[in-house]
Amino acid sequence: MVVKHTGLDRLILALNAIFLTCAVLVVVVPLVYIVVASFMDPTVLLNRGLSFNVSDWSLDGYQMILSNPAMIRGFANAVLYSVSFALLTVTVSIFAGYALSDERLAGRGFFMIIFIITMFFGGGLIPTYLLVRNLGMLDTVWAIILPGAVNVWNIILSRTFFKGVPRELKEAANVDGASEMKIFFQIVIPLSKPIIFVLALYAFVGQWNSYFDAMIYLDNSNLHPLQLVLRSILIQNQAAPGMISDQLAMAELKRLSEMIKYSAIVISSLPLIIMYPFFQKYFEKGVMVGSLK
Amino acid sequence: MEVKVLDNTMDTQKGTGRALKDRTSVSHRMQQFKKHYFLYMLLAPALILTLIFKYIPMYGAVIAFKDFSPIKGIMGSEWVGLKHFEKFLASPNFDVIFMNTLKLSFFGLIFSFPVPIILALMLNQVRKAGVKKNIQLFLYAPNFISVVVVVGMLFIFLSPTGPINQIATWITGQPIMFMSEPEYFRWIYILSDIWTGAGWASIIYVAALANVDPELHNAANLDGANLIQRIRHIDLPTIRPIMAIVFILAAGGIMSIGFEKAYLMQTSMNLPSSEIIATYVYKVGLQSGDYAYSAAVGLFNSVINVILLVTVNLIVKKLNEGEGLY
Amino acid sequence: MKKVSKFPKAVTTTSIAMLSTMLLLSACGGGGGGAASEAQSPDGKVTLNFITQSSPLAPADPNDKLINKRLEEKTNVHINWKNYTSDVFAEKRNLAVASGDLPDAIFDAGYGDYDLLKLAKDGAIIPLEDLIEQHMPNLKKVLEEAPEYKSMITAPDGHIYSFPWIEELGSGKQRIQAVDNLPWINVEWLNKLGLKMPTTTEELKEVLIAFKTQDPNGNGKADEIPLSFINKPGGEDLTFLFAAFGLGENWDHTVVTDEGKVVFTAADKGYKEAVQYIHELVKEGLVDVEAYQQDWNTYLAKGKDNKYGMYFTWDKANITGMNDTYDVLPPVAGPSGEANVTRTNGIGLDRGRMVITSSNKNLESTAKWVDQLYDPLQSVQNNWGTYGDETQQNIFEFDEAKGMLKHLPLEGAAPVELRQKTSIAGPLAILDSYYGKYTTKPEDAAWRMELLDKVMVPHMKAENVYPSVFFSIDELDRLSTIETDLFAYVLRMRTEWYQNGKVDQEWDAYLKELDRLGLQEWLQIKQAGYDRNNK
d(CA B326, CA A152): 13
Identify the DSSP state of B233: I
Q: What are residue B193's phi and psi, to 5 degrees?
A: -60, -45
DSSP characters over B259-319: SHHHHHH--TTTHHHH--HHHHHHHHGGGTT-HHHHHHHHHHHHHHHHHHHHHHHHHHHHH
Question: Is the CB of residue A172 less than 8 Å away from at least one CB of chain C?
Answer: no
- A39–chain B Cβ distance below 8 A for any pair: no
Say if C56 is an interface residue toward chain B (CB within 8 Å).
no
How far does the CA of residue C293 sit from the closest CA of chain B (Å)? Answer: 6
Touching chains, A (3+ CB pairs < 8 A): B, C
Q: How confident is the prediction for chain B on average, in pLDDT? A: 82
Of A134, A216, A236, the CB nearest to C26: A134
Top-ranked range on mean pLDDT: pick from A100-109, B192-201, B283-292, C55-64: B192-201
Angle at A233 between CA A231 and CA A235, to 5 degrees: 65
B99–chain A nearest CA distance, Å: 21
Strand partners, C355: C106
Is residue C363 within 8 Å of C41, Cβ to Cβ? Answer: no
CB within 8 Å: A147 and B53: yes
C115 in reach of chain B (CB within 8 A): yes
Kindly report the average pLDDT of chain A as a whole number.
80
> C123 to chain B: nearest residue by CA?
B71
Q: How far apart are CA A101 and CA A161, in angstroms?
A: 9
Q: Does A47 touch chain C (CB under 8 A)?
A: yes
Distance of alpha carbon C184 from alpha carbon C330, whole angstroms: 9
At residue C184, the 3 state secondary structure works out as strand
Q: Is B214 in contact with A109 (Cβ distance < 8 A)?
A: no
Return the CATH superfamily for domain A62-291: MetI-like (1.10.3720.10)
Rounded Cα distance between C94 and C230, Å, is 33
Q: Across-strand partners of A40?
A: A57
CA triple C263-C269-C273, angle to 5 deg: 130
CA distance C370 to B173: 64
Q: Which residues in chain A touch residue C22, judged by CB atoms under 8 angstroms apart?
A: 131, 135
Q: CB distance B61–A122 less than 8 Å?
A: yes
Residue among B33, B34, B48 minimizing CB distance to C15: B48
B280 touches chain C (CB under 8 A): yes
Against chain C, the chains showing at least 3 CB pairs within 8 Å are A, B
Q: Is B51 on the interface with C (CB under 8 A)?
A: yes
User: What are residue B63's phi and psi, to 5 degrees?
Assistant: -60, -25
Please indicate if any CB of chain B lies within 8 Å of the CB of C480: yes
Q: Is B66 helix (H, G, I), strand (E, B) or coil?
A: strand
- Single out the residue of A275, A273, A271, A263 nearest to residue A67, CA to CA: A263
Q: Give me the residue from B50, B57, B218 closest to A127, CB to CB.
A: B57
Classify residue A164 as exposed, middle or buried by CB count within 10 Å of its CB (0-12, 13-18, 19+).
buried
Using CB atoms and an 8 Å cut-off, which of residues 165-204 of chain A contact chain B?
166-167, 179-181, 184, 194-195, 197-198, 201-202
DSSP for residue C369:
H
Nearest to C440 by CA among C485, C503, C395, C391: C395
Burial class (CB in 10 A: 0-12, 13-18, 19+), C331: buried
Looking at the complex, does the CB of residue C512 fall below 8 Å from at least one CB of chain B? Answer: no
Nearest to C415 by CA among B102, A12, A253: A253
- Best A183, A236, A254 member to test C by mutation, with max C CBs in 10 Å, is A236
**Is C322 an 8 Å CB contact of chain A?**
yes
Return the closest-CA partner of residue C111 out of C168, C163, C166: C163
Residue ranges of chain A assigned to CATH 1.10.3720.10: 62-291
Helix (H, G, I), strand (E, B) or coil at C26: helix
Distance CA C466, CA A52 (A): 53
In angstroms, the CA A263 to CA A66 distance is: 10
As a whole number of angstroms, the distance between CA A210 and CA A207 comes to 5
**Residues of C whose CB is below 8 A from A250:** 318, 416
pLDDT of residue A87: 95
Tell me, yes or no, if A233 comes closer than 8 A to chain C by beta carbon: yes
Q: Which residue of B has its CA nearest to C98?
A: B70
ipTM for the assembly: 0.82
Contact C373, C382 (CB under 8 A): yes
Output phi, psi for B268, to 5 deg: -60, -25
**pLDDT for position C450:** 93
Residue B8: what pLDDT? 35
Evaluate whether C529 touches C475 at the Cβ level (below 8 Å): yes
Note whether C98 contacts B291, CB cutoff 8 Å.
yes
Q: What is the pLDDT of residue B219?
A: 85
The packing angle between helices B291-319 and B277-284, to 10°, is 170
Residue A17 clears pLDDT 70, i.e. is over it: yes
At residue A238 the predicted structure's pLDDT band, cuts being 50, 70 and 90, is: low
Q: Does A20 touch chain B (CB under 8 A)?
A: yes
Domains and CATH numbers, chain B: 2-56 (no CATH), 90-319 (1.10.3720.10)
Q: What is the spatial distance between Cα B180 and Cα B266, in angstroms, rounded to a whole number?
A: 9
Round to whole Å and give the CA distance between C532 and C262: 13
For the segment B36-73, what is each residue's pLDDT rounded down to a tens digit? 788 888 999 999 999 999 999 988 888 889 888 777 77
pTM score of the predicted model: 0.83
Which pLDDT value is given to residue B12?
34
Count CB atoms within 10 A of the CB of residue B147.
17
pLDDT tens digits, chain C, 535 residues: what are they?
344 444 445 445 554 555 555 454 444 444 333 478 888 887 888 999 999 988 777 888 899 899 999 999 999 999 999 988 877 888 888 888 877 788 999 999 989 898 899 889 888 999 999 999 999 999 999 999 999 899 899 999 999 999 999 999 988 899 989 999 999 999 999 999 999 999 999 999 999 999 999 988 888 888 899 999 999 888 899 999 999 999 999 999 999 999 999 999 999 999 999 999 999 999 999 999 889 888 888 888 888 889 999 999 998 888 888 888 999 999 999 998 889 999 999 888 999 999 999 999 999 999 999 999 999 999 999 988 888 888 888 888 888 888 888 888 776 666 667 777 888 889 999 999 999 899 988 887 888 899 999 999 999 999 999 999 999 999 998 998 899 889 999 999 999 999 999 999 999 999 999 999 999 999 999 999 999 888 7
